[in-house]
Amino acid sequence: MAKYRIAWMPGDGVGNDVMEAARIVLDAMKFDAEYIPADIGWDFWCHEGDPLPERTIKILKETDCALFGAITSKPRDEAAEELDPGLRDKGLVYFSPIVRLRQLFNLHTNMRPCKAYPGNPLNYRDDIDLVVFRENTEGMYGGVEWFPLPESVFEALSIHPKMGKWKEKGLENIALSTRIMSKQGCESICRQAFEFAKTHKRRNVTIVDKPNVLRETGGLIMRAAREVAKDYPDIPLWETNIDAQCMWMIKNPQDYDVFIAENMFGDIISDLCAGLVGGLGFACAANIGDEYAVFEPTHGSAPKYNGMYKVNPMAMLLTVKMMFDWLGETDMAKRLEGAVAKVIAEHKVGTYDVGLSNTTLEVAEEVVRKL
């Protein structure tokens, strides 16, 4: 039997292309794993009314972790229009399968490294090495939403003095999305970030939110960070507002190291960090829980490039590196990152985004040669 069982989820669009590139590298490294195909994505929504079928959830429960390519998601009305005719008017509502996975398996920590590899012409600076710890199951992505706003929800919220004015606009005209955060969730993501900083000898940790406006939820995560920081007296904790932090990331990104953020703000700032080190073609991510993890590049499905083997596979290959680390295969992780770094530094083989003309698979094959 293979040492590992990996759920294999290419998903939509170029997710298939980059996962094919990943398999070239995994096979060349003789990684001792069985890859179990698992269905996820837009086609399964359109034809089955479920982008994350129960059979896929069963597979994930029987594997060590999952590799995931990319997903296509669309707003509620557009999603409903693309359902097969026989599935319409049955009350089916589209919900992001990756968000559902995070909540179903309690993948509480979204870890997104953003590192500037020397030789990348898209680097904003060459001395950037950032890691974002994004709370992954709560906050603005909790999925507690309504449109139109039910009378019962309005009445419940009317205990707050600022709620009453909304009724004059007509509840049928009001959409409500919530930001619900728990003390446990805030403490967990802060602990994960500080433990990482301690283990990897990072210089500082920065908590990013907007507590001067979002006083209750922002205040909660700020207080949690301060309490956790007491257990790590050698690691400075900085506190910033999300808007100012975006400006400082352009002004002096080299000063920062590890970030902590709520779900929505973590999503925003991690894409900004990715932009500083070459874009989403270099941005990897891990969704980590206590017992399971799903690894994914952070780029989307880019349907217009599907099957063209045009997109940069480095984000996917660095995602594989993160999987190796999580599984304890540290030597493989170092070998793979070293090979990726060599290809980037030489700047002879690469995709269109870095000014070269090679295919997704040709880049993967070049990485194999550097192994």
Reported as a single tens digit per residue, the pLDDT across 142-168 is 989 999 999 999 999 999 999 999 999
| Tens of pLDDT, residues 195-210 | 999 999 999 999 999 9
Q: Where in the chain is the domain with CATH 3.40.50?
A: 124-141+181-276
Q: What is the mean pLDDT of residues 2-27?
A: 97
pLDDT of 236 reads 98
| Of the candidates 98, 128, 124, 96, the residue with the CA atom closest to the CA atom of residue 115 | 128
pLDDT of 362 reads 98
| Tens of pLDDT, residues 57-94 | 999 999 999 999 999 999 888 999 999 999 998 999 99
What CATH class does 1-107+285-371 carry?
alpha beta
| Tens of pLDDT, residues 178-191 | 999 999 999 999 99
pLDDT band of residue 41 (cuts 50, 70, 90) is: very high
pLDDT of 210 reads 97
Q: What is the mean pLDDT of residues 44-49?
A: 96
CA distances (Å), origin 203, targets 199, 200, 237 = 11, 9, 10
Please tell me the pTM assigned to this model. Answer: 0.95
CATH number for the domain running over 124-141+181-276: 3.40.50
Q: Where in the chain is the domain with CATH 3.40.718.10?
A: 1-107+285-371
pLDDT of 1 reads 85
Q: What is the mean pLDDT of residues 239-267?
A: 97
Q: Residue 264 — φ and ψ, nearest 5°?
A: -65, -50
Q: What is the average pLDDT value for the chain, to the nearest integer? A: 96
The answer, yes or no, to whether residue 13 has pLDDT greater than 90, is: yes
pLDDT of 50 reads 96
| Tens of pLDDT, residues 316-360 | 999 999 999 999 999 999 999 999 999 999 999 999 999 999 999
